[in-house]
């Protein structure tokens, strides 16, 4: 069952993340579980989900001290002027508003689009589809880039 998890909370804070135990939610027999007989053994569907390790670490990600909670900008980086690329990884950061962050993002996408064409933008469809909504995790980004005239997509090996 993919990444199904239950997050237990207390006073609005996550205290534990665990797999979903399906028999806790519904009568197990009403779920019509399957069983396969092979080589003298019986195999049946697990009664709990098998979340990926990154799902079980959400609590640490959400409350970790290294989490970036607000938009930041390098103090010596000017999106309309001197970018000081030699100071990447050295300079300090300052907090900026969400509006300023959105403006910088939009202007950078437009700059790259104008300077290099639509295929200068890599639409990397990663993130394990963790979009937290009913639409496909990769659909919105690629649709936006398609409306902008195209994009370079990542190729999956296989």
**pLDDT tens digits for 71-130?**
999 999 998 889 999 999 999 999 999 999 999 999 999 999 999 998 898 887 655 555
Are 106 and 148 in the same domain? no
Q: Distance between CA 126 and CA 77 in Å, rounded? A: 28
Are 76 and 62 in the same domain? no
Range of the domain at 144: 118-158
Report pLDDT for 158: 40
Chain centre distance of CA 95: 22
Are 55 and 102 in the same domain? no
DSSP code at position 154: P
Q: Distance between CA 138 and CA 129 in Å, rounded? A: 7
Are 124 and 112 in the same domain? no
Torsion of CA 101, 104, 105, 109, to 10 degrees: 180
Structural domains counted in the chain = 3
Are 59 and 20 in the same domain? yes
Are 86 and 30 in the same domain? no
Are 125 and 82 in the same domain? no
pTM exceeds 0.75, yes or no: no
Burial 116-143 (b: 16+ CB within 10 A, else e): eeeeebebeeeeeeeeeeeeeebeebee
């Amino acid at each position: 069952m993919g990444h199904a998890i239950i997050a237990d909370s207390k006073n609005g804070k996550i205290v534990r993340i665990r797999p979903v135990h399906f028999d806790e939610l519904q009568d197990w027999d009403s779920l019509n579980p399957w069983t396969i007989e092979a080589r003298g053994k019986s195999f049946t569907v697990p009664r709990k989900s098998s979340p990926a390790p990154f799902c079980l670490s959400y609590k640490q990600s959400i409350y970790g001290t290294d989490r970036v909670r607000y938009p930041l900008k390098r103090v010596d980086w000017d999106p309309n002027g001197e970018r000081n690329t030699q100071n990447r990884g050295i300079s300090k950061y300052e907090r900026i508003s969400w509006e300023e962050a959105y403006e910088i993002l939009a202007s950078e996408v437009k700059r790259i689009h104008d300077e290099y064409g639509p295929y200068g933008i890599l639409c990397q469809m990663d993130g394990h589809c963790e979009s937290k909504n009913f639409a496909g995790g990769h659909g919105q980004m690629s649709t936006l880039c398609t409306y902008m005239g195209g994009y370079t997509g990542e190729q999956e090996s296989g």
